[in-house]
Structure 1
Amino acid sequence: MNILKDFLLQLTLIVIPIFIYFTFITERVKSDKNKNVIMSILWGISILLCMSFPVSYGENARLDLRFIPLLFGTLYLGYFPGVFLSALIIFFRLYFGISLGFYNTVFVLLLSLPVIFYFQKSFARSKKDKRVKIAVGLSFYYCLLGLTFFGVLNGFSFDHMSVQIIHLIFVVVVTWLFIILSEMIREIQVLRIEVQNSEKFRVVSELTSVFAHEIRNPMQVTRGFLQLLNDPDLPSKKKEYIQISIEELDRANEIIDDFLLFSKPDINNNKKVNVGYQLERVINIIQSYSLNHNVEIKTDILYNCWIYANPQKLNQSLINILKNAVESMPDGGIVWITCTTADDGYIKINIKDQGIGMTNKQIDRLGTPFYSLKEKGTGLGMMISFQIIRSFKGKIIVNSEKGTGTEFIIFLPQESQTERTAI
């Protein structure tokens, strides 16, 4: 029973590098060279631990699973890690003193390591099933050599040979299990990477096609009116056609600007900003636009609302939301805007309209690329607004019902709260 417990401890010492590799290293370390160095060190630590806590039986008789880290390190990492791990085994074994066990270790390594090197390239090129066969075959060969040399050096007694046979069976079975586990995890990772890449290509393809469609519409309209301008029988319509063409070109330019702003990396130009003052500026900017749509803006703004943000981006986000609120009321109405301090260290901005409202499904899609409820909308403006608020460590909550209006609740951390978070 003690021998079995010792073997299970050895098993645990081998599992740790595999767990660390697939949990931390594969995602965070990009360079293959760095991965090999880290894994060589991890397998080396596993070897040292296996040799430090061996299965002891008889007089000065010791067994461990050092070969499995050596095998995995050589087959997966290559020749130099294999040489490094082999030298580590020899020098650490020498630390325990020169004995028959030391000679047995050296002889077995000298005869098994060239064979492992021989099959290493074949292993690297092979698929899962053949890799399993190579690894199991090499582990059987190594243990058989060890059993043979041990018998020659120590004699073929039943007690000692039975433990050696148990060791052989255990190493072969563990190698088989671990190689299958490693290959399965590798297949899952490859599949996940392929899915991620295919999803990226799908998103890029979708964005490209929709973006091209959105640009093509105003271009085709402009082209059609420019053709009509060549007609000498329509002098009275020329100004109207020119105005429509300019408007369509401006719309195409807005689409391009929104798309570029979305893809542009964020540059942190944040500073202390009074949200109440910025709201007042935004309302003044959009006032004439709202009057043209027969929309009244009512406010209740607390002016001592300080945050840490980029004022231009904050204004852009608020303008997009306010503009959507105004446009959601084709027959006119009221937009209520409030700005207060919340109890949890946030500034709370409410923008509520009497517009057409949205369903829950439409709310869930709000802020996604090229999703808009407006006939000529692209959805990029709202998406950028969401992105800006998130960049300020804030959040947006949208409440809406079809036919009753929509409420945007924006939470932005106060300046003091932001400083504490940064610290």
Structure 2
Amino acid sequence: MNIIKDFLLQLTLTITPVFIYYTFITEKIKSDKSRKVLFSIIWGISILLCMSFPVSFGQNARLDLRIIPLLFGSLYGGLWPSIFLSALIIFYRLHFGISIGFYNTVLVLILSLPVILIFQKSFSRSKRDKRVKIAVSLSFYYSLFGLTIFIILRGFSKNYLMVQMIELIFAVIVTYFFTILIETIREIHNLRVEMQNTERLRVISELTSVFAHEIRNPMQATRGFLQLLNDPDLPLNKKEYIKISIEELDRANEIINDFLSFGKPSVNNDEKVDVGYQLRRVVNIIQSYSLHHNVKIHTDINEDCWMYANHQKLNQSFINILKNAIESMPNGGIVWITCTSTDDGYIKITIQDQGIGMTKKQIDRLGSPFYSLKESGTGLGMMVSFQIVRSFKGKIQVNSEKDRGTEFIILLPRIS
């Protein structure tokens, strides 16, 4: 029973770093390279913990579940993480002295790691079910190979064989459940990204007709001025007509650029972003939509409100909230938008409307999936906005009274 307890401790030491990574870190790291480095470090910590508290039995015989972090680090990370983790195992095992166990470790790694790397490319291209089969098979192969080398170097013993079989069973079972857990988390993360892109396309489809009308206006004005320029009896203000035509074309081009920028699939890299500038772009995108609903937008946006963020996702959250504010005023009204820097290191964006407002119960449910106050609403837009703001380590506060309007206060971490 003590051996079983030791293996359960090994299981805890293996799963804890992984749980910490997927719970607190994976959503905050956007760069794939940084994520891979941090992932390798986490698996390395898991290996060190497993090797520091091994299952000891017989004469200086030691076993642990280092295969789990090594296997997943290699399958999900690729060549360099696998080399890093293998070197870590060898050097840390050397710390305990050169013995039969050290030779056993080196031999198993030399003969098993190439096989894992051969299957790594197939693993990365496969779907979930096949990935589970590959991971479990490699875990069984590694453990069985380690058992064979162990018997060759130490000789056959019934007690040794029993402990080795327990280690093999534990390794295979833990690999099976770990693979399913990791694949499930990855699927949930991908679904979030797809949901954000789907919501963006839905908003685009709703704004398209208004955009077409807004673009048509400067085009018609320009066409009219060009017709006037063709008139031989044109008065002396020809330059003024040309200037207005160019301005109208530039305005149409700006609207198209903002619209296309909003529609692009978002990338994961964060960059230094001027929130005030992005907020003005959002107002430019939504301006025609607001006029179509007889809603005026008043802004008071300060300069130099900088933060690290993905500007496409940031704009998406602003557009979702601003669009809801406009649609909450069926009879028209005013939306006030402010952007200022606070003394406690935040950028404070306020979006306030004169709409139908919400009760305390409705505010508490705001941001929940499929909860919307609109008859045709899905609630996903507001949920996506909340998720985006939180991913930037920001906060959203909502103040509202029934039939008195709603105020959204968005707090985002500012950089100097």
Displacement of 1:387 after TM fit? 5.4
Q: 2:17: which partner in 1? A: 17
Q: 3-state SS of the aligned residue for 1:29?
A: coil
- Tell me, yes or no, if the aligned pair for 1:136 and 1:172 is still in contact at 8 Å: yes
Give, in angstroms, the shift of residue 189 of structure 1: 1.5
Q: Which has the higher contact order (CA 8 A, sep 6+)?
A: 2
Q: State the TM-score, normalized to the length of structure 1.
A: 0.58
Aligned partners of 1:29 and 1:35 also within 8 Å: yes
Structure 1 residue 137 and structure 2 residue 137: aligned? yes
SS in 2 for 1:42: helix
What SS class does the counterpart of residue 28 from structure 1 fall into? coil
1:7 aligns with 2:7: yes
Which residue does the alignment assign to 2:325?
367
Q: How does 1:114-153 map to 2 (within 5 A)?
A: 114-153=114-153
Matching of residue 195 in structure 1 with residue 195 in structure 2: yes
Q: Which structure 1 segments of 5+ residues have no match?
A: 228-252, 269-312, 314-319, 328-363, 413-417
- Specify the alignment match of 1:157 in structure 2: 157
Distance 1:116 1:266, change over 3 A: closer
Q: How many residues align?
A: 297
How far apart in 1 are the matches of 2:144 and 2:195?
Answer: 43
Alpha-carbon contact 2:329-2:355 (below 8 Å) kept = no
Task: Work out whether residues 17 and 46 of structure 2, in 8 Å CA contact, stay in contact via their aligned partners in 1.
Answer: yes
Output one character per residue of 1:380-415: Cα deviation in whole Å (capped at 9) or x when no partner. Answer: xx34x15569975668586879xxx96569899xxx
- In the alignment, the residues of structure 2 paired with residue 71 and residue 411 of structure 1 have an alpha-carbon distance, to the nearest angstrom, of 47
Per-residue deviation, residues 84-137 of structure 1 (Å, max 9, x unmatched): 111111111111011111111111111111111111111111111211111111
TM-score for both structures, normalised by structure 2: 0.58
Contact 1:136 1:175 in 2 (8 A): yes
Q: Does 1:47 align with 2:47?
A: yes
Q: Which residue type is aligned with residue 30 of structure 1?
A: K
Letter of the aligned partner of 1:198 in structure 2? T
Superposed displacement of residue 29, structure 1: 2.0
Residue 114 to residue 206, structure 1, CA distance change in 2 (3 Å): same
**Residue identity (%):** 58
In 2, the alpha carbon distance for the partners of 1:88 and 1:223 equals 71
Distance 1:70 1:367, change over 3 A: same
Change (3 A) 1:171 1:216: same
SS of the equivalent of 2:62 reads strand
- C-alpha offsets along residues 305-335 of structure 1, whole Å, 9 cap, x if unaligned? xxxxxxxx9xxxxxx9xxx99x9xxxxxxxx
Work out whether residues 108 and 142 of structure 2, in 8 Å CA contact, stay in contact via their aligned partners in 1.
Answer: yes
Q: Which moved more, 1:256-265 or 1:57-66?
A: 256-265
Match of 1:91 in 2: 91
- Unaligned ranges ≥5, structure 2: 228-249, 263-272, 278-282, 284-289, 297-321, 342-346, 358-401
* Equivalent residue number for residue 172 of structure 2: 172
- Report if aligned partners of 2:329, 2:356 keep a CA contact under 8 Å in 1: no
Pairwise CA distance, 1:260: 11
* Larger deviation, residues 258-267 vs 168-177: 258-267
Note the C-alpha offset of 1:208.
3.0
Residues 185 and 257 of structure 1: CA distance in aligned 2, closer, same or farther (over 3 Å):
closer
Preserved contact between residue 36 and residue 77 of structure 1 (Cα < 8 Å): yes
Alpha-carbon separation, structure 2, partners of 1:81 and 1:395 = 46
